[in-house]
A and B are shown apart, each in its own frame.
Chain A
Amino acid sequence: MSPPAALDSAPGAGPESVAIRRRLPLWRLLARDRFALLACLWLLLLLLCVAVGPELLGKSATTLDLRARNTPPGTLDRGWLTILGTDALGRSMLARLVVAARNTLLVAVSAVIIALVVGGLLGMIAGYVGGRTGNLIMRASDVLQSFPSLLTAVVVLYVLEPRVANLVLVLAVTRLPVYVRVARAEVLEIRERLFVQASRALGGGRRHILRRHIAPIVVPTLLTILTVEFAVVMLAESSLSFLGIGIQPPEITWGLMVAQGRNHLSVAWWLAFFPGLAIMLAAMSANLLSSWLRTVSDPTQRWRLEAPRKGG
């Protein structure tokens, strides 16, 4: 582990011409890319909403105020909470958005993580063990992939109750094949490398090789898919909630808020507009961050971020 690090951190040791350019720390690189930085800050803000939002604003999100029904956004005379307007029952949109962030984001994050862990494991097994087990896993993943994911969701949520846990399960299962495929493809290549063969020759067991030699290379690849998948899953959850088969009221998510706002579209456009905007901004931030991560982790593209800015 230590030799490459030592090489990296001692550029002054060699003659000036071959000195390795010092790598900027990650946060400095992030600060140089304005869009990625904004995306990161927005996601952090959302995390804050998830962590303390319902405790802080839960009460204002459920307090009815029939005199303040459908207040348009930008009205401040009833306090700053009505800055994004109020809904048909006079509840503050801002407070409802903050509270709904928890359900929306937690569902997406847990589904993505479950899919990553289970799919990654299955893919690694399929790639390393191969044979009949591997074939079985791949065929199952093929069937799962050719199955219309919305249909899976509808059927499962009809059979089981549409509770948060079941929704997470459905979303995780429909996204499994992505990780299975990527993990398997990576393992197929890694298992032929010399260090794996060496470990096998030294008597390393399957478990040992998978855990110590293969997983450390596969996991970072899977992690770069994670951010894109987060956006995909969040959009899928919103669509389900929009169709009325996702999370049920009184629980709220952004997708459900758009669906509810749709009925008041001609009188109060903001009811459907702001939750949709929140979904889009969150998904876009995740996508921006993931494309930034891809650039940073790609040695042939990283210079684009490290190169000094024109005029800056």
Chain B
Amino acid sequence: MMSYLGQRMLHSAVALCALVMLVFFLVRLTGDPASLYMPIDASVEQRADFSRRHGFDRPVLVQFGDFLADVLRGDFGVSIRKERPALDVVLRAFPTTLSLAVITMGLAVTLGVAVGSVAAYRPGGLFDRLATVSSLAAASAPDFWVAITGILVFAVALGWLPTSGTGDWSYWVLPVAVLMLRPFGLLVQVVRGAMLNALTSAYVKTARAKGVGEASVVFVHALRNSGLAVVTVAGDQMVGIVNGAVIVETVFGWPGVGKLMIDAVMQRDFALVQATILVTATAIFLLNILIDLLYVVLDPRIRHQ
């Protein structure tokens, strides 16, 4: 078990390094920051001076060497735009995105599992058909469209909720609802499928024949077996949100990591892009290890390997 975890971490570390290198060279392909930050009529000398101050005039490989040495000392450079250490900027935005992800996934998993199991209990029934179609609609709706339609209806027309920004709970309702749609839709489908299989399987028939109570059959025997599928899908969706819920953060003016990253790329703020990627990638690798541990808890076959 421990050796398996160790191996996983080693693989993750290798992938993380590859990612950091790739990002370093890729962002430098997007263009010269001097032409973006200096006024249009800046002279060649002024531009050269800007590049020298930020170290962009040195050969790329030298910059890369310095970057690596700095990162090992925990220094991610200074954001050009914000004129603050890049890591500070990222670490300030990260909790916002993380709490958004946790709340969204918590609600999506609870609701998805509940609706999926009830739907699978009577396949073909009214509730099942409703759940199937609405979960498909939820999984297929473009989030940016739902977001602006939501603003139009609940913020502009009805005036119940604020349009954007952060604050008390009412600011969370629309972003969470929009972000929840896809994970919820996918989870309903996955749980329904897994429960359909489980409820028709031999061990459930055995349990019923033994006289096990119906609630226990559904929630203990059958539902436990769909746990793996739920963890896979929920984990995948969670990774997506931690990576930056760019659309939702942009539309609702939410100061999270996704918006930070897109803005940083557009503004050629190289240090900030690198810091953002490194922080989110580390979070995702930790999350993946957590998901693997959950598999082990849920499935005895994996535990005994």
Which A residues are closer than 8 A to B by beta carbons? 35, 139, 142-143, 146-148, 150-151, 154-155, 158-159, 231, 235, 238-239, 242-243, 255, 258-259, 262, 265-266, 269, 272-273, 275-277, 279-280, 283-284, 286-288, 291, 301, 304
The smallest C-beta distance from B68 to any residue of chain A, in angstroms, reads 18
Given contacts A146-B15, A151-B261, A279-B145, contact A243 B139 (CB under 8 A): no
Assess whether A146 is in contact with B149, with CB atoms less than 8 Å apart.
no
* Chain B residues in 8 Å Cβ range of A265: 148, 151-152, 156
Report the bound CA distance from A242 to B262 in whole Å.
13
Contact of A154 among B137, B243, B262 (CB under 8 A): B262
Report the bound CA distance from A279 to B141 in whole Å.
8
The smallest C-beta distance from A51 to any residue of chain B, in angstroms, reads 23
Q: Is B27 an interface residue (CB 8 A)?
A: yes
Interface membership of chain B positions 1-35, coded 1 if the CB is closer than 8 angstroms to chain A and 0 otherwise: 00000000001001100110011001101110000
The smallest C-beta distance from A134 to any residue of chain B, in angstroms, reads 15
Report the bound CA distance from A154 to B264 in whole Å.
11
The chain B residue with its CB closest to the CB of A254 is B142
Assess whether B15 is in contact with A235, with CB atoms less than 8 Å apart.
no
Assess whether B281 is in contact with A146, with CB atoms less than 8 Å apart.
yes
9 CB-based A-B contacts, threshold 8 Å = A142-B15, A151-B265, A154-B266, A243-B246, A243-B262, A266-B152, A276-B146, A280-B137, A287-B140
Q: Is B269 an interface residue (CB 8 A)?
A: no
Report the bound CA distance from A24 to B64 in whole Å.
64
Q: Is B136 an interface residue (CB 8 A)?
A: yes
Assess whether A155 is in contact with B265, with CB atoms less than 8 Å apart.
yes
Report the bound CA distance from A255 to B250 in whole Å.
15
The smallest C-beta distance from A262 to any residue of chain B, in angstroms, reads 5
* Chain B residues in 8 Å Cβ range of A147: 19, 22
Given contacts A158-B30, A258-B142, A276-B142, contact A151 B250 (CB under 8 A): no
* Chain A residues in 8 Å Cβ range of B266: 154
The smallest C-beta distance from B116 to any residue of chain A, in angstroms, reads 14
Those of B272-305 within 8 Å (CB) of chain A: 273, 277, 280-281, 284-285
The smallest C-beta distance from A37 to any residue of chain B, in angstroms, reads 14
The smallest C-beta distance from A33 to any residue of chain B, in angstroms, reads 11
* Chain A residues in 8 Å Cβ range of B123: 304
Assess whether B142 is in contact with A148, with CB atoms less than 8 Å apart.
no
* Given A142-B15, A151-B265; 14 other pairs, CB 8 A cutoff: A35-B133, A143-B19, A146-B15, A147-B22, A155-B29, A231-B140, A258-B148, A275-B145, A276-B142, A276-B145, A279-B142, A286-B140, A287-B136, A287-B140
Assess whether A243 is in contact with B247, with CB atoms less than 8 Å apart.
yes
Q: Is B144 an interface residue (CB 8 A)?
A: yes
Query: Of residues A151, A154, A284, which shows the largest number of chain B Cβ atoms within 10 Å of its Cβ?
Result: A151
Contact of A280 among B14, B124, B145, B243 (CB under 8 A): B145
The chain A residue with its CB closest to the CB of B16 is A146
* Chain B residues in 8 Å Cβ range of A243: 246-247, 250, 262
* Chain A residues in 8 Å Cβ range of B144: 238-239, 242, 255, 258-259, 276
Report the bound CA distance from A243 to B14 in whole Å.
32
Assess whether B145 is in contact with A258, with CB atoms less than 8 Å apart.
yes
Assess whether B243 is in contact with A148, with CB atoms less than 8 Å apart.
yes
Assess whether B265 is in contact with A158, with CB atoms less than 8 Å apart.
yes
Assess whether B142 is in contact with A151, with CB atoms less than 8 Å apart.
no
Contact of B142 among A143, A239, A266, A301 (CB under 8 A): A239
Report the bound CA distance from A151 to B265 in whole Å.
8
Report the bound CA distance from A154 to B137 in whole Å.
28
Assess whether B140 is in contact with A154, with CB atoms less than 8 Å apart.
no
Assess whether A291 is in contact with B189, with CB atoms less than 8 Å apart.
yes
Report the bound CA distance from A231 to B136 in whole Å.
11
* Chain B residues in 8 Å Cβ range of A280: 137, 140-142, 145
Contact of A235 among B14, B19, B142, B151 (CB under 8 A): B142
Assess whether B15 is in contact with A139, with CB atoms less than 8 Å apart.
yes
Assess whether A273 is in contact with B149, with CB atoms less than 8 Å apart.
yes
Assess whether A146 is in contact with B148, with CB atoms less than 8 Å apart.
no
* Chain B residues in 8 Å Cβ range of A154: 262, 265-266
Report the bound CA distance from A275 to B145 in whole Å.
9
Given contacts A139-B15, A265-B156, contact A148 B280 (CB under 8 A): yes
Assess whether A284 is in contact with B136, with CB atoms less than 8 Å apart.
yes
Q: Is B244 an interface residue (CB 8 A)?
A: yes
